[in-house]
Amino acid sequence: MQNLLLSYYGDDLTGSTDVMEALELGGVPTVLFMRQPDEALLSQFSHCRAIGLAGTSRSETPQWMDTHLQGALAWLKALNAEICHYKVCSTFDSSPTIGSIGRAIEIGRSVFSQDSVPLVVGAPQLKRYTAFGHLFAAYRDKFFRIDRHPVMSRHPTTPMDESDLLIHLSRQTDLSSGLVDLATLQSASRLEAFDRLFADGTNIVLLDVDSLETQALAGKEIWRVRTPGGTFVVGSSGVEYALLAEWASNHTVRAEPSF
């Protein structure tokens, strides 16, 4: 495949279609596979600029991820897209034993031989917001910190009892982490702060997103620091919305969707 902008692994089917919808509506032809295709099938979608693989890791153990996720990400890496996205739910519900986002990041870092992994969870389009590292989500006509959300704080499998996403991740991985907060993201020192975290080898770099403006800035930074052979990124479909803003801005894709 040539000229691929993005490949992605969705941690469940619903989330995988969420990414596909965002990309298609943003003018990026996308195909989503339920299992790894052979070359004959893949060749039928040479016009696509994004390729997804729907998975089940949201409900799986770290041991399952060690067995299955590594191969899936290695296949996606071989597609040589500019960005490879491990897609998680925008509510970030996960635990050390089920759907461990921390373990997924560890595997992705290994596959891509990448020290620092950008993380974007906020997605205003879905009424999800991150502010100074904390996640907020809507329920009906109100907004709640995720650990006080009427539904997600009571999730039957992975209840969210911590809204600080980096603290939440620290229960799942020993990887180091850092934050580009709202104030920094919108300041003149944005590039310097982001580059410093990468230069210091910070393993997980969370970018706050609370608006379309900060979303666009997050997309600009992710695109700026990409490397040849593909950059591994983790987050909700906020990753796609952020990148779409940047791609429209730099004319990588058409601003208007085409069907």
Q: What ranges do the domains of the chain cover?
A: 6-249
Helix ranges restricted to H, the chain: 13-25, 39-43, 62-78, 101-112, 165-170, 182-185, 190-199, 212-224, 238-249
Where does the pLDDT of residue 196 fall: very low under 50, low under 70, confident under 90, or very high at 90 and above? very high
Predicted pLDDT of residue 256: 60
CATH fold for the domain made of 6-249: Rossmann fold (3.40.50)
Which residue reads 């003018």 in tokens?
27
Give the angle 36-38-39 at the CA atoms, nearest 5°.
130
Q: What is the reported pTM?
A: 0.96
Task: Report whether pLDDT(259) > 70.
Answer: no
Task: Report whether pLDDT(18) > 70.
Answer: yes
Predicted pLDDT of residue 164: 99
The answer to whether 209 and 122 have CB atoms below 8 angstroms apart is yes
Share of the chain above pLDDT 70, in %: 98
Total Cβ atoms within 10 A of residue 14: 11
Where does the pLDDT of residue 255 fall: very low under 50, low under 70, confident under 90, or very high at 90 and above? low
Torsion angle, CA of 165/204/99/162, rounded to 10 degrees?
Answer: -10
CA distance 23 to 29: 7
Predicted pLDDT of residue 254: 80
Please compute the mean of the pLDDT values over residues 82-98 and round it to a whole number: 98
